Amino acid sequence: MVDIKALVDVENGTQSRRIFWERDIYELELERIFARCWLFLTHESQIPNYGDFFVTKMGEDEVVVIRQKDGSIGAFLNQCRHRGMKLCMAEAGNARAFSCAYHGWAYGVDGTLKSVPCEKESYGPDFDKAQWGLHPVAKVESYKGFIFGCMDAAAPSLVDYLGDAAWYMDIWAGVPGGIEFLGPPSRSIIRSNWKSPPENFIGDSYHVGWTHAGVLKAMTGEVMPQLAFASKDAGFQVTTRYGHGHGINWGPGPILMSPNCPDLFEWTERRGVEMEAIVGEKASKLYSRHWDGTLFPNCSYLIGTYVFKAWHPIGPDKVEIMTWAFAEKDMSDDLKHRIKVAAHRVFGPAGILESDDIDNFEYIALPNQGHVTRQGKMNLQMGMGREREEADYPGVIGDFLSEHGQRGLYRSWADCMSSANWAELEAKTASWKQDLLRKKKV
């Protein structure tokens, strides 16, 4: 039995290195995180028409997400119910049916089994096709165009799972006209544990002035000291009930895009005024800033850099990365094209900043081959004790140069891993805010 308290010490901000390597821990993650939590599947702009589909993963389970005839969205395990053959071999496309390459069982886009070769002759009159449709994802919902799925029918609704994070998402995804993804994702595989990338994207401002020093100097002509983010005026981090978090910097959002897209500064300034009428004055001030963020467990984004990522585990030490560039639908085609080029140039598989990060992710994982190394602990104590509430911003707030968001991610990891079901998880997290603010009820 895995002792979760021995792996993640929430009160003291430490984690065992074992969580980045050991197979039994990883298998429990697949069961209690990836088969329980809401996971990002795709964006509605990727499957706008009837029969459009996109193939992705939920943990290590491959699923096909399909636009239905009535406009709704279905998602099913990508495997034939006969002998388990992978059903859809394409990554995306449009179809009216899916037929298995092994024996020819054919399914409609609604997952029903439509035809079986030699059905009457081989199976007889008692064979019931209605019992052998594709295995559906238990819940599929969309928020601001972002489609999520959940394998656990007992899970709360998507909007309840997002919680306070939905307020922040409204600021950048709730723009007039909405968001669209710019073409298919780039795909790459790295030798890393799946938790390292979302941990980085949820608010690791500490590494920016060190890891990316050379690249940022080449891009901007200046060296960014690590202390640049230490000021109280630099920004803030936020964490939420189920581990979603953001690091929001008060600097200009499109700074990394400026060589290709200088007109983004004018766009965000003008749009920020429009957003005030939609989300209010305090929220609209965040619109034009630079954010990093992660929705627990495994999707992340950079606001201002127009990058969205999903991190799919392939074992304890391997991750498939899907990277999309996105834009606001109301932007011109020319600006969208330049955003796509710039976003992938910075954070695509060979991106100039992505390459720095991948080195870190891989060399966090690889040393854990050593038995003695795995007995060690890791430290996420920066900024502990400075958690607070602020009237203008939902969630629990921390300093921008801190590890507040990362601690929130591992707090949620520990809650999920130590809970047998959603009822237990919700009871365990009911007082999350008071606990985090050190205001525990006696």
Whether residue 210 contacts residue 200, with contact meaning beta carbons closer than 8 Å, is answered with no
The dihedral through the CA atoms of 129, 132, 135, 139 has a sign that is positive
Kindly state the tokens that stand for 217.
């100097």
β-bridge mates for residue 287, sequence order: none
CA 240 to chain centre: 15
Compute the distance between CA of residue 393 and CA of residue 272 in angstroms, rounded to an integer.
17
Burial class (CB in 10 A: 0-12, 13-18, 19+), 387: buried
CA atoms within 13 A on the CB side of 212: 23
pLDDT of residue 441: 44
* Single-letter residue type at 45: S
pLDDT tens string, the chain, 442 residues long: the values are 789 999 999 999 999 999 999 999 999 999 999 999 999 999 999 999 999 999 999 999 999 999 999 999 999 999 999 999 999 999 999 999 999 999 999 999 999 999 999 999 999 999 999 999 999 999 999 999 999 999 999 999 999 999 999 999 999 999 999 999 999 999 999 999 999 999 999 999 999 988 998 888 887 777 677 667 778 789 999 999 999 999 999 999 998 999 999 999 999 999 999 999 999 999 999 999 999 999 999 999 999 999 999 999 999 999 999 999 999 999 999 999 999 999 999 999 999 999 999 999 999 999 999 999 999 999 999 999 999 999 999 999 999 999 999 999 999 999 999 999 999 999 999 999 999 997 544 3
CA 431 to chain centre: 25
Compute the distance between CA of residue 338 and CA of residue 317 in angstroms, rounded to an integer.
34
Compute the distance between CA of residue 311 and CA of residue 198 in angstroms, rounded to an integer.
8
β-bridge mates for residue 319, sequence order: 190, 313
Catalytically active residues, by annotation: 103, 204, 207, 212, 357
Q: Domains plus CATH for the chain?
A: 4-34+164-436 (3.90.380.10), 39-143 (2.102.10.10)
